[in-house]
Amino acid sequence: LLQLTRKLIEIRSVLLSVDQSDALKLPSIVVIGSQSSGKSSVLEAIVGHEFLPKGDNMVTRRPIELTLIHTPSNAASSSTTPAEYGVFPNLPGLGKISSFSTIQKTLTDLNLAVPPEMAVSDDPIHLQIHSPHVPDLTLIDLPGYIQISSMDQPEQLKDKINSLCDKYIREPNIILAVCAADVDLANSPALRASRRVDPLGTRTIGVITKMDLVKPENGVQILRGERYPLHLGYVGVVCKAPAAGVSGLLRNIRGGEANNVTNAVIRREEEFFGGENARLFSNKGRAVGEKRLLVGTDTLRRRLMDVLETSMSGSLNGITNAVQLELEEASYQFKVQYNDRRITAESYVAEAVDALKSKFKEYTTHFSKPAVRSKLKDMLDNRLMDILEQLYWNDPRTAELSKLAEDRKLAPEELDSYWKYKLETASSMLTKSGVGRDSTNLVADGLRGLIDNIAQAEPFTFHPDATTRIVDFSHAILRERMGMTADQVENCIKPYKYEVEVDDREWALGRERAEEKFGEEMGRAELKLGEIRKRVGGGRKLGSLIRHVEELERWEDETRRRRVSNLGRVVPEGDEADETHVDTPLDAYKYSPAQVIDGRHALLLSNRLTLLRLRQNALKSKRCRMGPDQSAFCPEAFLAVVADKLAYTSTMFINIELLEQFFYQFPREIDSRILYDLDRSEIAKFARENPKIRKHLDLQDRKDKLEQVMRSLQGLVNLQKEAQPAQSRR
């Protein structure tokens, strides 16, 4: 009436998910027995279906925690839910399984998944069976005890099974000790184990199987339990499961009607206990006080329900107190550690995404137009210096250009076309150097760096999968836009490839910038020269080393010249050496090869410095200050203006084509690919990747479940209190 067992079974599963400590355990029925004692047959008779793994090779390797849930038959038939089905709570993907042979196959697979060298595992398989034909019960099936270790069953296996069973037969569980009638009870390992932990048999029920295999008189003798008394007594059954073929036949004939095993067993038992043996097994006419005989699977079921209910209601107060204590502890911890702040996986994901977006926004300031322009300018200025080096500084005539600039009377039109042509070449080298591609790449690299940065910072350090996603999709956005952007930029700078118009203001700025760049370049050269000077041991030593190198180079030039003029001449054999050789005027051993290299370097640097100084003076000269019509005299200023214009135009188009698009798309992609793309379980998984959040959620969950359990338990305690006076009145 109270449905106490049913409610406590529900509570039991909640508690199991909270933790496995013994204090929070509600009783369950544990089925033990030796191999082939008929354990499976008894369980299947109770459930009404063949569903346990079968086979010769020790098929039960893990405990099976079986929860039977009685469903009213009318409710089941009306809905889409099958009348009878099994659920593996830890394998939610499998859903409701209405085919018991599928359940059997799943159980077999789960058992066989235990590696052979482990043989048995402690890790239970949870299975719920919902059916109108089952009582509310929790049963745990354990691997059968083995008597002798055979070749393929190592000695430790016996110990392993024993200790696994020992773990389960502890209080408050009820022990169902299965013994075959045709085996002497003295040899039953199940009874032996149960006597160790429950000497009076107050929580052990004996089940005697295969009653049909012994003489009825002997069967009755066993059931009386005089040799090995059990307070809860023995129940005799005959439940040889029908052979597979017969069972299949039965299913066919009955059109798949449920409960075929039970029916078959009951018929068999009716025949056996009710037929010619009826007189022996009947309790009719037994004297008051004489022990009643318990026979039949149906009796067994009712007995189990009674015993479990009694045991459960006996545990009610104890478990209520234990849960109360646990709940207080959990509440205290929740207050202390989290100040009662509740979180959800969803809120965590939303926060993480918000943080990511705001960090992104913060970083986008690094990509303001002036910032991008200055980066591009640096890139183009470097390129400009390379071009100047290549075309001007390496050209001996450049000194001459500086002199020409000083000649006030020389008009720009009168300047040698050599210099005009050179300027055009320099300008087109700059404008045609792939500015579109390179500037786009530069900015895209910056964006990639930005994304890598924020996607790898906390809390994403805990979410490597999300990080990969973010990085992947942002790179994809960039890839998609880059080609177009580069083309667009290239297109927009196209006019500069033909003509660059410069006004006075631009000229003045360009000239200043060129001067500045020259200053930097000279600074660098001086620094290097200083290093060499220090290495060589001072200015005077460097001076003589440079003179030495100059001599050496002159001699090398001379040798080279002679060799060239001798080329093609027929030289009598043995004579070449004399013809081309020039005696070195130097002491070849005065300097080490490393010093000679330093000397060559220093010579180069000091020549470069002289030239740079010349050019810087030219830039500062009156002529270069005059304006853009003096470009050919002052190529550095002109090219600086070109670089500036390129940077400006590129920035404008990169901003429109790449940056604005990316800044618009990125936060939206984050939403659609992280926030909205995850389903509930993925969100939970994501949140739990963060250990801090996992701990928080676990404690919160534990507290919630304990509260829920506590409410149910209190309801039951109250009901029990109300019911008790009524019962005692009856």
**Which residues are at the interface with ligand GDP (CB under 6 A)?**
33, 35-41, 144, 209-210, 212-213, 238-241
Smallest separation, CB 186 to ligand GDP (Å): 18
Between 37 and 595, name the residue whose CB sits nearer to ligand GDP: 37
Between 47 and 502, name the residue whose CB sits nearer to ligand GDP: 47
Strands 137-141, 204-209: parallel, antiparallel or unpaired by DSSP?
unpaired
What sign for the dihedral angle of Cα 335, 341, 344, 349?
A: negative
Helix then strand count (H, E) for the chain reads 27, 9
Smallest separation, CB 247 to ligand GDP (Å): 11
Between 64 and 639, name the residue whose CB sits nearer to ligand GDP: 64
b/e per residue 583-598 (b: at least 16 CB within 10 A): eeeeeeeebeeebbeb
590, two tokens? 């005065």
Between 209 and 485, name the residue whose CB sits nearer to ligand GDP: 209
Q: Which residue has the tokens 């003489």?
A: 215
Q: Are 644 and 512 a contacting pair, CB within 8 Å? A: no
Amino acid identity of residue 347, one-letter, is S
What sign for the dihedral angle of Cα 412, 414, 416, 417?
A: positive
Between 245 and 593, name the residue whose CB sits nearer to ligand GDP: 245
Between 128 and 209, name the residue whose CB sits nearer to ligand GDP: 209
Between 238 and 493, name the residue whose CB sits nearer to ligand GDP: 238
Between 175 and 478, name the residue whose CB sits nearer to ligand GDP: 175
Strands 294-295, 234-236: parallel, antiparallel or unpaired by DSSP?
parallel
Smallest separation, CB 90 to ligand GDP (Å): 23
Smallest separation, CB 241 to ligand GDP (Å): 5
> 311 vs 8, 128, 208, 306, CA distance in Å?
11, 21, 22, 8
CA-nearest of 378, 380, 418, 411 to 396 is 418
Between 35 and 441, name the residue whose CB sits nearer to ligand GDP: 35
Smallest separation, CB 145 to ligand GDP (Å): 9
Q: Are 199 and 230 a contacting pair, CB within 8 Å? A: no
CA-nearest of 308, 327, 369 to 23 is 327
As a whole number of angstroms, the distance between CA 188 and CA 593 comes to 97
Smallest separation, CB 46 to ligand GDP (Å): 12
CA-nearest of 235, 226, 375 to 303 is 235
Between 301 and 623, name the residue whose CB sits nearer to ligand GDP: 301
Smallest separation, CB 321 to ligand GDP (Å): 38
CA-nearest of 415, 436, 424 to 387 is 424
As a whole number of angstroms, the distance between CA 348 and CA 700 comes to 14
**Within 10 Å of residue 3's Cβ, how many Cβ atoms?**
14
Smallest separation, CB 187 to ligand GDP (Å): 14
Measure the N-to-C terminal CA separation of the chain; round to a whole number of Å. 15
Smallest separation, CB 39 to ligand GDP (Å): 3
Residue 65 is inside which H or E element, if any?
Answer: strand 64-70
Smallest separation, CB 169 to ligand GDP (Å): 16
As a whole number of angstroms, the distance between CA 472 and CA 476 comes to 6
Between 39 and 303, name the residue whose CB sits nearer to ligand GDP: 39
Between 280 and 604, name the residue whose CB sits nearer to ligand GDP: 280
Between 142 and 618, name the residue whose CB sits nearer to ligand GDP: 142
Smallest separation, CB 208 to ligand GDP (Å): 9
DSSP track, 323-386:
HHHHHHHHHHHHHHHHTT----HHHHHHHHHHHHHHHHHHHHGGGSHHHHHHHHHHHHHHHHHH
Between 71 and 262, name the residue whose CB sits nearer to ligand GDP: 262
Smallest separation, CB 683 to ligand GDP (Å): 43
As a whole number of angstroms, the distance between CA 163 and CA 290 comes to 38
Between 182 and 416, name the residue whose CB sits nearer to ligand GDP: 182
Smallest separation, CB 66 to ligand GDP (Å): 14
DSSP track, 88-151:
-TT-GGG--B--HHHHHHHHHHHHHTS-TTT-S-S-PEEEEEEETTS-SEEEEE-PPB-SS--T
Smallest separation, CB 316 to ligand GDP (Å): 33
Smallest separation, CB 129 to ligand GDP (Å): 17
CA-nearest of 724, 726, 728 to 316 is 724
